[in-house]
Amino acid sequence: MATIADRGEGISQLKSQAESPFATKLRGSPFIPLVVIAGFLPLVFWHLVELLQKPEYQYLVLLPLAAWALSTIREAGPIAPRKRPLPAMLLAVISCVGGLAAAWFWSPWLGAVSALIAVIPCLWWTGGWKYVREWLPVWVLCWLIIRLPFGWDQRLVQNLRTVTTRLASGVLDELGILQLSYANVIELPGKPLFVADACSGINSLHVLLGAALFLGLWFRRRALHIVALLAATFGIVLIENVSRLVTVAAGFRWKVDLSEGAKHATLGYVLFAISLLLVISTDQLLVFLIPLAKSKQSPATTATSAIHRSLGASFVRQILGAAWAAAAVVVGALSVTNASMPHQLPAWSTFSPSNFDMPKLGEDFLPKELAGFKFDRHSEVKRVFGDPFGQASQQWIYRRGEIFATVSIDYPYDGYHDLTECYTAIGWVVPEDHKELLTVEQLPAELTDGESGTLAIARMSQELFGSSLLLFSLVDRNGVPAASIKSKARATSGAETAADRLKSFGNRQPNAAPAVRYGGPYVQFQLFATSPNELTDEDRKRVIALYLAARKLLLPKGVESLKEQSSSSPPAPTKKESA
């Protein structure tokens, strides 16, 4: 195993060269890069605020430490002249354009990407390409703050869930543990196990990939080695999560419930620790399989001849540097003054898992007859943390003819939540044109009875289960019910933004609601009606009436509980437009 001591001698030797008075003359003024980076800071800040609200990215608080550690072992070379300025200029232009677009369209993600791109010309400006190469490992590690764009990270979660479930099912079959798996659920006799976000390994995946990257960069592995290690880490995460499900399922055979509580958490930590060790072991295996690259030390001899060229171009350089800094200042100014920028930091509670709970409302909270449906039974459900159906639910089941309607209040949620995805995950088929996102005003007046807010409706079907109708909306402590269907939100958001931008140049209008908004806690009101036959329009009307009637009774209780829980914390962050 290569150690720091192996390289220590060489590094100190090179550092002494780099810090010589002669070498410092080759450096560009650090003022320009500082201004440029400062220009991107607001966008990066809001990007990190959004990112750190997601549990799977919270490990990034360790990133500065890791970056510092990498910086201490960087192989400092002699300061070289700033040759080949064109690529650096190109990157500077790309980062500025990206930054301006990010500030104008308020995309902290694009801002963060542009900032990372801007770091390269900044490093080049300070010490040429040698300097860039010196800081490259730290720069590469910093890319961990960039999540996959276009909702690919969400899709990755979904696919991970599906793949984990399928693999776990195959392994359980091999072990002779009979179970039923569909979409994201593994069902054992008497115990369905929903493969939640946490169980899908999204948290482990991010942390372990980060650790693997750090490991590769720390030991200065070759690119091929690092890529192989990252690929193997992905496999290790899958193995970890399949092992978790298989262990839980096998536990039931021996009457040990590892599916929830402290035992479940302990199992998770143990498996994570094993996975981390496996990553290190895999690194060693790759060292055995792939030869290590010898680090190439560049001689400092070219430095002298370059001084004259560097000094000769100083005037142009100063002009370009000033223009670059000015562009970055515009990015910063635009970011700060942009109407879309949140005007208040999110509450601390949004960075930690919600521990919201509601009092038990009991069977008699809803009437025995509601909107023509008759009460059948009541139940309370507890699920694991992170379960997309909510950690807890209180359900009232009503019946009318062959229609069974489950009215449910589910909680807590950290943001708007597309429930159709959960039902898709357990095997229901929801065609895109069967999803509707409606305001209550769009419904017939006789159904709404003074209700307001939005409501999501989806018609679903599943072979051998019949057809069903799903209605849902969420509410936070502000008490206005709202719903989100991701595909609808994306479509709406994109169309409105483009139109708004054209219409309101200089007079900014509010953005459409984002597909997913973090914060909360939120409480979800759900109605899931099933019938062995196709539900008619008349049935749909009746079910909507039942949903609105039930929500009208449940909503004040939900909001009251949310207010009680959050009385000590500040209100949820709002956008400037809505303030």
**Of 212, 199, 184, 177, whose CA–CA distance to 267 is shortest?**
199
Q: Report in angstroms how near the CB of residue 3 gets to another protein at its nearest.
A: 13
CA 387 to chain centre: 16
Residue selected from 174, 446, 537, 538 as contacting another protein according to rule CB under 8 A: 174
Q: Quick one: which segment of 117-125, 216-224, 283-291, 475-483 binds another protein (CB under 8 A)?
A: 283-291
| Residues 238 and 201 sit within 8 Å (Cβ to Cβ) | yes
Does 537 engage in binding with another protein (CB under 8 A)? no
| Residues 104 and 338 sit within 8 Å (Cβ to Cβ) | yes
Residue selected from 126, 179, 350, 565 as contacting another protein according to rule CB under 8 A: 179
**Of 525, 524, 529, whose CA–CA distance to 406 is shortest?**
529
Does 294 engage in binding with another protein (CB under 8 A)? no
Residues 399-458 that bind another protein (CB under 8 A): 402, 404
Residues 502-531 that bind another protein (CB under 8 A): 530-531
Q: Report in angstroms how near the CB of residue 11 gets to another protein at its nearest.
A: 23
Number of H helices and number of E strands within the chain? 17, 11
Does 207 engage in binding with another protein (CB under 8 A)? no
Closest to another protein by CB, 146 or 267: 267
Distance CA 271, CA 267 (A): 6
Q: Report in angstroms how near the CB of residue 372 gets to another protein at its nearest.
A: 15
Closest to another protein by CB, 119 or 229: 229
DSSP string spanning 512-556? PPPSS-EEEEEEEEEEEEEESSPPPHHHHHHHHHHHHHHHHHHHH
Closest to another protein by CB, 64 or 532: 532
Q: Quick one: which segment of 150-158, 169-177, 328-336, 480-488 binds another protein (CB under 8 A)?
A: 169-177
Residues 366-405 that bind another protein (CB under 8 A): 402, 404
Residue selected from 114, 282, 350, 420 as contacting another protein according to rule CB under 8 A: 282
Residue 70 tokens read as: 């990498």
List residues bridging with 454 in a β-sheet: 439
Distance CA 497, CA 511 (A): 6
Does 184 engage in binding with another protein (CB under 8 A)? no
Closest to another protein by CB, 280 or 306: 280
Distance CA 341, CA 111 (A): 13
Q: Report in angstroms how near the CB of residue 159 gets to another protein at its nearest.
A: 17
Please, is 17 exposed, middle or buried when counting C-beta atoms within 10 Å of its C-beta (0-12, 13-18, 19+)?
A: middle
Q: Report in angstroms how near the CB of residue 175 gets to another protein at its nearest.
A: 9
Residue selected from 426, 465, 541, 576 as contacting another protein according to rule CB under 8 A: 465
Q: Report in angstroms how near the CB of residue 255 gets to another protein at its nearest.
A: 16
Q: Report in angstroms how near the CB of residue 248 gets to another protein at its nearest.
A: 16
Q: Quick one: which segment of 6-14, 154-162, 281-289, 482-490 binds another protein (CB under 8 A)?
A: 281-289
Q: Whose structure tokens read 């350089």?
A: 317
Residue 400 tokens read as: 């009318």
Closest to another protein by CB, 251 or 466: 466
Residue selected from 188, 198, 245, 258 as contacting another protein according to rule CB under 8 A: 188
Three-state secondary structure call for residue 22: helix
Q: Report in angstroms how near the CB of residue 279 gets to another protein at its nearest.
A: 8
Does 255 engage in binding with another protein (CB under 8 A)? no
Three-state secondary structure call for residue 343: coil
Residue selected from 5, 86, 445, 464 as contacting another protein according to rule CB under 8 A: 464
The set of residues, in sequence order, having a beta carbon less than 8 Å from that of 321 and lying 6+ positions away, is: 28, 29, 32, 125
Does 532 engage in binding with another protein (CB under 8 A)? yes
Closest to another protein by CB, 403 or 482: 403
Contacts 24+ apart (CB under 8 A), 430-437: 430/458, 430/459, 430/460, 430/470, 431/459, 432/487, 434/458, 434/459, 434/460, 435/485, 435/487, 435/488, 437/483, 437/484, 437/485, 437/488, 437/489, 437/492
Residues 61-100 that bind another protein (CB under 8 A): none
- Give the total of residues touching another protein (CB under 8 A): 41
Closest to another protein by CB, 287 or 438: 287
Does 355 engage in binding with another protein (CB under 8 A)? no
**Around Cβ 130, how many Cβ atoms within 10 Å?**
23
DSSP string spanning 218-250? HTT--HHHHHHHHHHHHHHHHHHHHHHHHHHHH
Does 3 engage in binding with another protein (CB under 8 A)? no
Q: Is the peptide bond before 521 cis (omega within 30 degrees of 0)?
A: yes
Distance CA 474, CA 244 (A): 31
Q: Report in angstroms how near the CB of residue 558 gets to another protein at its nearest.
A: 28
| Residues 118 and 91 sit within 8 Å (Cβ to Cβ) | yes
Distance CA 15, CA 76 (A): 5
Closest to another protein by CB, 433 or 463: 463
Distance CA 65, CA 16 (A): 25
Does 239 engage in binding with another protein (CB under 8 A)? yes
Q: Quick one: which segment of 95-103, 195-203, 232-240, 306-314 binds another protein (CB under 8 A)?
A: 232-240
Q: Report in angstroms how near the CB of residue 406 gets to another protein at its nearest.
A: 12
Q: Report in angstroms how near the CB of residue 157 gets to another protein at its nearest.
A: 22
Distance CA 277, CA 60 (A): 20
Q: Which residues of this chain interact with another protein, rule CB under 8 A?
A: 1, 167, 170-171, 173-174, 178-182, 187-190, 232, 235-236, 239, 277-278, 280-288, 291, 402, 404, 463-466, 530-533
